[in-house]
Amino acid sequence: MKLHNIYRFFINIIYPNICPCCETIIEYDGDFCDKCRNKILPYDSDFIIKHVDEFTAYCYYEGIIRHAIRKYKITAKGNSYYAFAFSIAQTLRRKRLTNGLDGIVYIPMTKAAQNERGYNQVKLMAKELHSLLDIPVYDALVKIRNTKSQKSVSAEARRSNLKNAFAISDKVDIKGKRLLLIDDVCTTGNTISEAARILKEAGADMVIAASFAKTRDIHSKNLTN
């Protein structure tokens, strides 16, 4: 049993593991209860994101997953960060996208936003992925300015809303690195695209992107940004 699994086994005695969707108590190393897992719609589309070498996701942002993700952005208590990371890890392994990866990078928040929420939900997922995949986490990206919610602006304004919102940390050298960039939800792909652009400009050799959930878009095969 891996050290991380031992930790989860003992912490489960104090804080029982729960399904992120319905909060039913599940096994210490479980992700979702069987009933909820059967309701999750697996992601099965092709989605091209500019500056990204390959993108994948675990499921569609629909039904019970909407509720689970919204709840996760309100509180980090429970099993969500592990369940979402575990699902991403399964997807990456199935598609053989973990080979040769040097590090995991996550979409950052501004310091003010993170202080207000108390945590960065995607960073928590990255830490779980580190334990699941044995790949280090790089705090490579910083968010240097506030942006409007992507949902609150028009499709035309989404790219400019994120332009130059991210920068590379001067504490991390990613030159020549093959990176996994993660987010909890991908909608248009603009956030991931801008983050990947910054990583590539800083010398990253490859950027594979993965999100737990992806919104459904019938035109996804034709999107490039």
How many other C-beta atoms can be found within 10 angstroms of the C-beta atom of residue 14?
A: 6
- State the pLDDT at residue 2: 73
DSSP code of 164?
T
- Please tell us whether the domain made up of 41-222 is placed in CATH 3.40.50.2020: yes
Per-residue pLDDT band for 219 (boundaries 50, 70, 90) equals very low
Strand order in the sheet with 178-186: 54-60, 206-214, 178-186, 103-106
Per-position b or e across 78-108, b if 16+ CB within 10 A of its CB: bbbbbbbbbbbbebbeeeebbeebbbbbbbb
Residues ≥6 apart with Cβ < 8 Å to 79: 17, 18, 19, 20, 26, 30, 31
Sign, Cα dihedral of 34, 40, 44, 46: negative
pLDDT tens profile 12-25: 778 889 999 999 99
For the chain, helix, strand, coil in percent to 5 are 35, 15, 45
Which residues are CB-contacts of 95 (< 8 A; sequence separation ≥ 6)? 56
Structure confidence by residue, pLDDT tens digits, 71-82: 998 887 778 999
Q: What is the pLDDT of residue 224?
A: 37
- State pTM to two decimals: 0.88
Segment 153-177, tens digit of pLDDT: 555 555 566 778 899 998 899 999 9
Other CB atoms within a 10 A radius of the CB of residue 50 amount to: 15
- Residue 209 DSSP label: E
The helix (run of H) or strand (run of E) holding residue 183 is strand 178-186
Q: What is the pLDDT of residue 123?
A: 96
> Per-residue pLDDT tens for 115-158?
889 999 999 999 999 999 999 999 999 998 766 554 545 555 55
pLDDT score recorded for residue 151:
54
Q: For the chain, what are the domain ranges?
A: 41-222
With a cut of 50, say whether residue 223 has pLDDT above it. Answer: no
- Cα-trace Rg, the chain: 17
